Amino acid sequence: MSARPRTGFDWRATPGLAPLTVLVLVFLYAPLVVLIAYAFNASDLAMVWGGFSLRWFEKALSNADLRRAALNSVIVAVVATVVATAVAVPAALALERGRRFLARPAAEAVIALPLVAPEIVTAIATLVFFSAIGLRLGIGNIAIAHVVFCIPFALLPVRARLRDMPRDVEDAARDLYADDWAVFRRVTLPLLMPGIVSGATLAFIVSLDDFLITLMVAEAGSTTLPVYLYGMLRLGVTPEANAAATLLLAASVGAVVAAYFIMRRDRHSRL
């Protein structure tokens, strides 16, 4: 009787890889653990432990400037997510389900450019363009820049989902006399929903955490939370900055967890 073939990756076949992986993960996540721990520090000094306390969270939440910056970040992230996702879905359908056209490689290159180009280059180019056309919309400048930057992040999961979707289901709906809109609304869109949610979540997090582009295009009165935190850190690390950064991290993690449960509920509802 032949042995059953093994599937998956065998850690024992590569000695030393598991400890190296653990060291890499510790190197990546240990600073976050330290940041979160010192956000609950009762001492006035950021890196001197003085006991457990929530007073720096209370101080951060009572800071009117910090709340205004956080509200700006949420507004920009929501606008960028909605617009980028609304653009990404038809773009993915055109690239994966549409007819072939001569400019398709150029279109794919333009869409992927924000992923390839260094962010500082994108930030400077955006600043120069806005200055050249005299665009001064305050927080609108940040929203427009984030929409352009977030489109590829919203597009990639949707396009990957389309590649995994069999065309037979859509063809079967057409054989049952469904028009293109009915096929999209009743077949394609429900099957695309996990990719749409993933892309929207990724776009929201990228916009919420963006610093370089926002720093370049933000005008007075339109500061977002990452830029505000940078301004706080220029005078040194403080427990209030640790608390504010922890809240920003919690918002990002919360968005990922919410997207996970949404996709899980959608998957169970179809079973």
Q: pLDDT, tens digit, for every residue of 171-196?
A: 788 878 788 888 888 888 888 888 89
Q: Taking 90 as the threshold, does the pLDDT of residue 82 lie above it?
A: yes
Q: What is the pLDDT of residue 11?
A: 59
Interval 42-70 mean pLDDT: 85
Which residues are CB-neighbours of 222 under 8 A, at least 6 positions away? 72, 138, 139, 141, 142
Residue-wise pLDDT tens digits, 223-251: 898 888 888 877 777 788 888 888 888 88
- pLDDT score, position 1: 45
- Render pLDDT for 142-178 as a digit per residue (tens, 0 to 9): 999 999 999 999 999 898 888 888 778 887 888 787 8
**pTM of the full predicted structure?**
0.80
State the average pLDDT over residues 57-80.
Answer: 90
- At 81 the pLDDT is 94
Q: Classify the C-alpha dihedral 144-209-213-241 as positive or negative.
A: positive
**pLDDT, tens digit, 9 for 90 and up, residues 93-105:** 888 876 777 777 8
What pLDDT band is residue 271 in, cutting at 50, 70 and 90?
low
pLDDT given for residue 77 in this prediction = 93
End-to-end Cα distance, the chain: 37
Question: Do the Cβ atoms of 130 and 66 come closer than 8 Å?
Answer: no
